[in-house]
Amino acid sequence: MTQTKLTAAQKDRAAGVLLGMASGDALGAGYEFGPPLSSSTPVVMNGGGGFNWAPGEWTDDTSMAVLIARAAADGLDLRDDKVLDGIVAQWVQWAKTAPDVGIQLRAVLSKTEPTASAVRAVAKAHHERHGRSGGNGSLMRTAPVALAYLDDPVALAEAARAISSLTHYEADAGDACVLWCLAIRHAVLEGELDVRVGLSALPADRRELWAERIAVAETSEPKDFAHNGWVVEALQGAWSAISTINQADATHLRLALEAAVRGGRDTDTVAAIAGGLLGARWGASAVPAEWRRIVHGWPGLTGADLVRLGGRICGDAHKERFDYAYLGDVSTLVQHPHDEGVWIGAAGALDALPREVDAVVSLCRVGTKQVPPDIQHHVEVRLIDKDDPAENPNLDFVLLDTVNAIAALRAEGHTVLVHCAQAQSRTPSVGALYAALHRGVAIDWALRQVLEVLPPTTPKRFLQAAITRLAADTPETSK
């Protein structure tokens, strides 16, 4: 549905919506139903929990959202009941074997024909029987709706409420989905966090109530919302985690998701809700590589798959291969001068990898079938080789995160290829920063020696300046 032409930074933020949501979901999965944690307690993506999740495995939150996202990627109107029939039918099948389905969702999805109208009727009856139906199960899955209507906020609000009402009849649930989706849209397009931007899309008699609820969240901590299975407190807990973390760079995403999990109780859902909006603000490039490497879940997707799915919704075509031959020779492949377990080169090296290479770090776009299938670990890095700072809004974070990912792979015993398209700018820059921060080599000497083993080249000035600055700013204890 989305027709808006996005800038490179906006595309990164759009790609971050599903990845951020899934990362929060997987981070919180192992802590679900647990008590609040202190601010000093580490939060790690180790899986476990009541459903024995694998490390990095997402839960029902992301699984339900994926089916919405696929319909949106196919260009379907999410307000159309025929489209919703298809989504509902898939939800019903999924719920039969899914290990973790919320009480309200299971009650609705298991007692009716798999059509939108039938499920909606059961949801209404459930509400009338119990007097409430404001669980957080529609808010947790709502993020992809925002991507489908970046160019039409009115249609976005309609679709968000329509999809919410399939399983959650209560007005609070629909309101929350409208507010959160419009906030995600605003973050993707403007790079700003503002959950109030959608207040005007609510019924007039509910705007003040929600403004008060948002204000409470901003003066509270996530742990203060003890009933975060309720959609209102789930939204408040997520917004509290986001708004009370005072961080003005891409590290905000990780810190806020950790804060959401420390709030306790329905940790995976609150962090998934927060992750969709944080990904929209900071982009896929702000999600730590250590998470991106392991995030996965039903129906057999990875974090990279979610990035591509988000891109498809926004009209970004993905390929099986990206042909960089137009650049000239892209076959460069040499060993790193300061670590024999790291190879550096160009995109063509993927077609002739040394046998010992079992991990790849890609600094340029690669197709879905470009990296050999026997590679155990593949880290895709968004690093644009253009001087305009707007192209790389998270530049420092990305560079540090990438060299730390290389170091982590090496510590695990992997042999790593680091490559970009032509090995002329990004590859030598990252290779030099890795040597400076993890091999104890002065940055000027590191860059000089990396360049000596590559074909004659000069990295872009902005990258040289960045790696010099980062090498100087990073404490020795981190090196």
Residues 446 and 456: their CA atoms lie apart, in Å, by 16
Q: Are residues 307 and 339 in the same domain?
A: no
Q: Is the pLDDT of residue 476 over 60?
A: no
Mean pLDDT of the chain: 94
- Other C-beta atoms within 10 Å of 347: how many? 27
Q: Are residues 112 and 224 in the same domain?
A: yes
Q: Is the pLDDT of residue 447 over 70?
A: yes
Q: Are residues 297 and 428 in the same domain?
A: no
Q: From its phi and psi, is residue 53 left (phi > 0), alpha (psi between -120 and 50) or beta?
A: beta
Place of tokens 């030598």: 428
Q: Are residues 258 and 398 in the same domain?
A: no
Q: Is the pLDDT of residue 21 over 60?
A: yes
Residue after which a domain boundary falls, among 313, 335, 365: 313
In a domain, 304, yes or no: yes
In a domain, 3, yes or no: no
Spatial neighbors of 358 by CB under 8 A, at least 6 apart, are: 374, 375, 376, 377, 414, 415
- Grouping H, G, I as helix, E, B as strand and the rest as coil, residue 242 is helix
pLDDT bucket at 129, cuts 50 / 70 / 90: confident
Residues 472 and 453: their CA atoms lie apart, in Å, by 24
CATH code for the domain in which residue 415 is found: 3.90.190.10
What do you get for the CA distance between the two ends of the chain, in Å? Answer: 47
Q: Are residues 209 and 338 in the same domain?
A: no
Q: Nearest 5°: CA angle at 284, between 69 and 138?
A: 35
Asked whether the CA dihedral 284, 288, 294, 297 is positive or negative, the reply is negative
In a domain, 386, yes or no: yes
Counted domains in the chain: 2
Q: Is the pLDDT of residue 479 over 50?
A: no
Residue after which a domain boundary falls, among 313, 340, 365: 313
Q: Are residues 366 and 464 in the same domain?
A: yes
Section 196-210 average pLDDT: 98
Q: Is the pLDDT of residue 301 over 70?
A: yes
Residue ranges making up the domain that contains 378 = 325-478
| Backbone φ, ψ for residue 36 (5° rounding) | -60, 150
Q: Which tens digit of pLDDT belongs to each residue from 221-264?
A: 999 999 999 999 999 999 999 999 999 999 999 999 999 999 99
Closest CA to 295 of 46, 40, 3, 1: 46
Section 13-30 average pLDDT: 98
CATH code for the domain in which residue 81 is found: 1.10.4080.10
Q: What whole-number percentage of the chain has pLDDT above 70?
A: 97
More confident residue, 198 or 112: 198
pLDDT bucket at 475, cuts 50 / 70 / 90: low
In a domain, 207, yes or no: yes
Q: Which tens digit of pLDDT belongs to each residue from 95-122?
A: 888 887 776 777 777 767 888 888 888 8
Q: Are residues 20 and 55 in the same domain?
A: yes
Section 349-366 average pLDDT: 97
In a domain, 319, yes or no: no
| Backbone φ, ψ for residue 333 (5° rounding) | -155, 110
pLDDT bucket at 477, cuts 50 / 70 / 90: very low
More confident residue, 55 or 121: 55
**Are 91 and 118 a contacting pair, CB within 8 Å?**
no
| The pLDDT of residue 22 | 98
Q: What whole-number percentage of the chain has pLDDT above 90?
A: 86
Residues 311 and 306: their CA atoms lie apart, in Å, by 8
Q: Which tens digit of pLDDT belongs to each residue from 368-386?
A: 999 999 998 999 999 999 9
| The pLDDT of residue 118 | 86
pLDDT bucket at 133, cuts 50 / 70 / 90: low
Q: Which tens digit of pLDDT belongs to each residue from 76-90?
A: 999 999 999 999 999
In a domain, 101, yes or no: yes
| The pLDDT of residue 378 | 97
Q: Are residues 356 and 267 in the same domain?
A: no
Q: Are residues 332 and 268 in the same domain?
A: no
Q: Are residues 58 and 154 in the same domain?
A: yes
Q: Are residues 237 and 334 in the same domain?
A: no
Task: Tell me the β-bridge partners of 339.
Answer: 336
Written as six digits, the tokens of 361 are 């770090």
| The pLDDT of residue 478 | 43
Q: From its phi and psi, is residue 283 left (phi > 0), alpha (psi between -120 and 50) or beta?
A: left
Q: Are residues 289 and 353 in the same domain?
A: no
In a domain, 333, yes or no: yes
Residue after which a domain boundary falls, among 269, 290, 313: 313
In a domain, 252, yes or no: yes
